[in-house]
Structure 1
């Protein structure tokens, strides 16, 4: 005889979130913890269904994409690693996938198109947040690879947003901060350097976008005179929105 106390009051059918990790392990861990906390706050302490695959990324390859100096061989290796991770996650039953790295969305998007999983796109989530918050002229702080790729600038107009890139000196400050944070350095030093850069922020900028998840470590530092939107928190909300939709719909049926 089955103990009725062990049966859930409502049959829940949440999706399974496949997290591609290992590309910025600190950011991947942060995303997981944020998703868990936000899911619990929305669903009475329940835990989400999450599986993670950590990509075995060589250090030199990580540094190459942060600096934006990929060659054809390195791009092929990135495709291979992402494909391997998607295979693992899809085989595990993941219904959606996410990646705590803006830069690699350029390579991830085409790899997901023909798969039976939903990509929770961090760039789309961040642009949506900017639009909904009423920010129109936004300074993008990200890796050189992300800035050059047009990940944000090419789609910004769809969301009524104008993306502004730092000048060469500003990009150097941002790039140095990212590399320091990647080494798990104390964020106080990168924050101080960024604060000097922020002092010369153009007057027509009404928000700053952290378009690199490693910059999330600076979220508790008061750096800019305008609001800061963190792409990782935008992805968190997109993940929890997706994962909780089936549970909420079932509970209200």
Structure 2
């Protein structure tokens, strides 16, 4: 499949999706998120996803220059763009049955920040920063940021990030627990791909069930979480990877998971 705004390529069992508008710091028009969602729905058997940005930025936010978020009624246009394009893509990423890694260098701002942090693991270059600058233009964070950030870093820090609209450098994001790892800029691509490759070699069905359980756990009571775990464990226990894991444990060797 050929896309206009992203690149999609496979590295072994990892599907690498790259935002490809480097001249615009990968500012994302609605069509870019549509392409990303389409690519997430056609992984070709990949067992992990890596999302990155071409050039010196991950994503500088929504691209408002094309008029998609303006017009005679900018409020309605923005609502439609979020409802029909941006939000469904974030939701598709959240519901994916395979693990996701994001590789961030330079800005991850606005909807780009939400996209980066929607991954299971965010690996950042030492040039990276995360920004919710909506307050500076009289708007509110979107792309799930108001749900995501308090859960990642707590209400006080999320409030600081949103209401002050200041950059959070990679080192500070790591200290806050917002991201997984910070690496040198020239090591970012290799580090992120190595992590995605490691995840792709894991028990894919069990990892998908873990993602679902983690997503639901913060919205359920303890008893419901216990019941959901038991149900997911029943599904995981019936997988070929679970059988392989048990045999490998008994044979004192490293398991070879196939994603089934």
TM-score with structure 1 length normalisation? 0.31
Comparing both structures, which one devotes a greater share of its residues to helix?
1
* Structure with more relative contact order (C-alpha pairs < 8 Å, separation 6 or more): 1
